[in-house]
Amino acid sequence: MSQLTISPVIMCGGSGTRLWPLSRALFPKQFLPLVNDTSMLQDTLKRLPNNCSDPVFICNEEHRFLVAEQVRQLSLSQGTILLEPEGRNTAPAVALAALNALKKDEDAILLVLAADHVIKNTEAFHQVVSQASVAAEEGKLVTFGIVPTHAETGYGYIKKGEQQKDSTFKVAQFVEKPDEATAISYLASGEFLWNSGMFLFKASRYIEELAKYRPDILEQCQQAMTDVEYDLDFLRPNKTAFLACANESIDYAVMEKTDAAVVIPLDAGWSDVGSYSALWEVCEKNEDKNVLKGDVIAHQTTNSYIHSQNKLITTIGVDNLVIIDTPDAVLVANKDKVQEVKQIVEQLKKEQRTEAVLHREVYRPWGKYDSVDSGERFQVKRITVKPGAKLSVQMHHHRAEHWIVVSGTAKVTIDDKSVLLSENQSAYIPIGAVHALENPGKLPLEMIEVQSGSYLGEDDIIRFEDRYGRVES
């Protein structure tokens, strides 16, 4: 393997709506342990070649603490977490990463990866990255084309052109997702590869080609990176400048136009896990070709994906089903119709239901809470605060709160008075009182919060001070 240093750029955006209810807008599939015991983001990090430097993560505001926490769990260097003010597709996002890399190394080579892909054969992946590095050093813009295993209609394709000396092929054509007949003809020809959305190129070459074909995108990204705000471990480009960027993919902005584009075939058990049928394909199955997760008893059941998070699921005499149970939602679907799950999510959004966005258990930078029960004028939450963590100094206009410590130690501040509470002790926070909660101990703090009042929404929080940068100016 080449000894040059590669700078990974991990794209952490996307909402994974076709994997609802496991995947939600504020906790999408890249942060879930769908294939094994670690999340897809963590799997992406663990398969990086040894000659990679600290990664750059590109994500949005809502996911920034999830990225930081999942990297911390692997005991890895956090690298740089670059926050997009709003998603503008891959061309502007990678431009931000390239401009940031060039500040440190004018010869930086970027390996652009999605956080939510499965690659089963890590050794084959490393070998192809090494081969692609040769082309990247020569100024080529390399994309990874997946060797197709079947006539897939859910992916775009890349047509191979003339073979090069460095194991790559000139890109003859990018094509959109085909119908079934066209996909069958692509597979039979042997000339087409699936478009993976992964790339390897010099940061400087990408900037050169972007300047040639989309100078408008480059100019806005340069402005955004000249006025960067550093917030804790996060890097925030200028919002106004970045929002002026066109919403464009690398394929459309550069790769379809440049004569430097090449594709390298990758045969390494790749999947973008874009649906439950794709997830069923990549997971280990039992003798009845079932994937069973959690507390499941399946009798005379075949070819199914059944996932329980909350309760016992039993099935009798069914075939080709997807059954998903979470604490607040159940999905039952024919495996051949799982692409329609996104229609359910659209309906939930239209009805402004929280199930489209949140799980019952919600993660925060200080820990998490589980909404146990709620009624017209009350809500009960189980709150977990990490050791040393502190919630914001805040107040509420419409609700009072009662906190009961289940385990651990809580430092509770109400107005100008602080007190330490231990197991079975409690505190009452009246409407309008300025208050804060902190875990000064070495163990997690578990407590029950009972809210009561005329309005219990999360937007009834006025923050005065917050160590996680969530105070609005």
CA distances (Å), origin 133, targets 106, 127, 200, 365: 16, 10, 7, 37
Which residue carries 């040639």 as its tokens? 212
pLDDT tens track of the chain, all 473 residues?
345 889 999 999 888 899 999 999 999 999 999 999 999 999 999 999 999 999 999 999 889 889 999 999 998 877 899 999 888 899 999 999 999 999 989 999 999 999 999 999 999 999 999 999 999 999 999 999 999 999 998 899 999 999 998 889 999 999 999 999 999 999 999 999 999 999 999 999 999 999 999 999 999 999 999 988 887 678 999 999 999 999 999 999 999 999 999 999 999 999 999 999 999 999 999 999 999 999 999 999 999 999 999 899 999 999 999 999 999 999 999 999 999 999 999 999 999 999 999 999 888 999 999 999 989 899 999 999 999 999 999 999 999 999 999 999 999 999 999 999 999 999 999 999 999 999 999 999 999 999 999 999 888 999 999 988 777 64
169 and 211 in one domain?
Answer: yes
Q: Give the torsion through C-alpha atoms of 201, 204, 209, 210, to 10 deg.
A: 100
Q: Which residues contact 226 (CB under 8 A, 6 or more apart)?
A: 238
Amino acid identity for residue 352 in this structure: Q
How far apart are the C-alpha atoms of 381 and 392, rounded to whole Å?
Answer: 17
Query: What are the strands, taking DSSP E only, across 311-366?
Result: 313-316, 321-326, 329-334, 361-364
How far apart are the C-alpha atoms of 204 and 105, rounded to whole Å?
Answer: 10
Residue 435 has what pLDDT?
97
Give the CATH number, domain containing residue 32.
3.90.550.10
Q: Which backbone phi and psi does 418 adopt, to 5 degrees?
A: -115, 145
Residue 182 domain-assigned (yes or no): yes
238 and 366 in one domain?
Answer: no
Total count of domains within the chain: 3
Per the CB < 8 A criterion, the answer to whether 17 and 29 are in contact is no
Residue 300 has what pLDDT?
98
How far apart are the C-alpha atoms of 280 and 355, rounded to whole Å?
Answer: 23
229 and 310 in one domain?
Answer: no
Q: What is the H or E stretch that residue 401 is in?
A: strand 399-407
Can you read off the two tokens belonging to residue 228?
């960067």
Which residue carries 């993919």 as its tokens? 249
Residue 472 has what pLDDT?
60
Residue 2 has what pLDDT?
42
CA distances (Å), origin 45, targets 66, 71, 214: 14, 8, 31
Buried b (16+ CB within 10 A) or exposed e, 213-242: bbeebbebbebbbeebeeeeebbbbbeebb
Question: Quick one: which of 256, 278, 281 has its CA closest to 157?
Answer: 256
265 and 329 in one domain?
Answer: no
Residue 470 domain-assigned (yes or no): no
Q: Which backbone phi and psi does 188 adopt, to 5 degrees?
A: -65, -30
Domain holding 337, by residue range, is: 287-344
Residue 384 has what pLDDT?
97
How far apart are the C-alpha atoms of 280 and 62, rounded to whole Å?
Answer: 29
Q: What is the H or E stretch that residue 133 is in?
A: helix 122-137
Per the CB < 8 A criterion, the answer to whether 152 and 270 are in contact is no
263 and 139 in one domain?
Answer: yes
